[in-house]
Structure 1
């Protein structure tokens, strides 16, 4: 039992490394070292994907209840998923003038409300509404460099989708299609590393695959709502 308590505490300590990764990403962003910033955010993304299953395996609520892992995870997620990516998008030349102000205010304001919403999870462990994964969105925008006429409407639509009953999958926790969703998420992560490492200068096929995996992760939950699961007899 003692080793289980140590393991549960270790999971909390692993989650807490996300705060360090967020600081490293922010320091890189302030210096406009976008490759380094996104690499730190990708590492934080991987940690966030690993610590949840470990927390459930070692039952941290039971064996290390003195630390609120959910609260700590939400704080770190807001920094790495929302705050730093929004700052990065604002600080580049992708959004000149008023467009940058609109986007950064919309992202930060709507996301903090969504993160505090107790109804964000659905019964099948998906998300109700767009889950504020702006780190993924901004990374793709860096890779594609679309004009403001595309970025601003996209941000507004995703912000509105936070508060609509549209489902978005969790690649690890949503059981339905997980055999597809999890590999797609892993491929997306590898492509994200490639994109950042190459200075957002991906080859043609890599860019197409990056967009395709992004669209799958964004739309799979809504498709599941439109196509109900077959009931086993």
Structure 2
């Protein structure tokens, strides 16, 4: 009996260890950003994003809350996510010169401030495991900006809109946990990840069909939740 219990504890603690590797990836991403190596910065952030996508299902499967209760997996995840989803991407948008001057300063104020409040929001998740409000995926937002390089004022306006959307009753799908359209959402998420790696590795030079695919997958992940809400309202 003791051996199965020991194995359960080992598996549970290994999930915490996997989650903690995100902090290492965050450090590597920060070092790359300081050296203005934006491609490698995003590759490290994408590695952290991949870990964030798989550690949750593993934690639930191996009953981490029961067998490794000493460490708060949710808190650990939030600490790392703030670094990789918010802090480093916001710094990159400004330090790269893509969003300079007053738009850059406005973005540097709005994104960290709103995200700090959102990450402490106890109503972040809905009953169907979606996100209540924009889930602060500034790492994905920043990569799209690096690829498209829109006008800095447009980036600031989008940052303001998405920051406000964090606290509105607008649903955004969780790529893994939201049950509705899950096969499609998982497929789109995997496609987005592949395209994101291609974009980062190729110095953000997606073109032709690849650029369209990147735009369409990004749009789906942004709008799938609001569309589900709209369908629910029309069905009432």
TM-score (norm 1): 0.97
Could you tell me which residue of structure 1 aligns to residue 173 of structure 2?
169
Q: Matches of 1:47 and 1:179 in 2, distance apart?
A: 19
- Aligned CA-pair RMSD: 1.3
The alignment partner of 1:32 has SS state of coil
Q: Which runs of 5+ in 1 are unaligned?
A: none
- 1:121 and 2:125 are equivalent in the alignment: yes
CA distance in 1, matches of 2:168, 2:234: 25
Question: Aligned partners of 1:194 and 1:64: how far apart in 2?
Answer: 37
Matched residues, number:
231
Q: What residue in structure 1 maps to residue 26 of structure 2?
A: 22
Output the CA distance in 1 between the equivalents of 2:114 and 2:18.
Answer: 28
Unaligned segments of structure 2, at least 5 residues: none
TM-score scaled by structure 2? 0.96
Counterpart Cα distance in 2 of 1:146 and 1:229: 34
Paired with 1:181 and 1:142, the residues of 2 have a C-alpha distance of 24
Q: Which moved more, 1:92-101 or 1:210-219?
A: 92-101
Match of 2:197 among 190, 193, 202: 193
Shift of 1:189: 0.3
Identify the residue that residue 158 of structure 1 maps to in structure 2. 162
Contact 2:176 2:182 in 1 (8 A): yes
Match of 1:222 in 2: 226
1:112 aligns to what?
116
Deviation of 1:8 after TM superposition, in Å, equals 0.2
Report the equivalent of 2:49.
Answer: 45
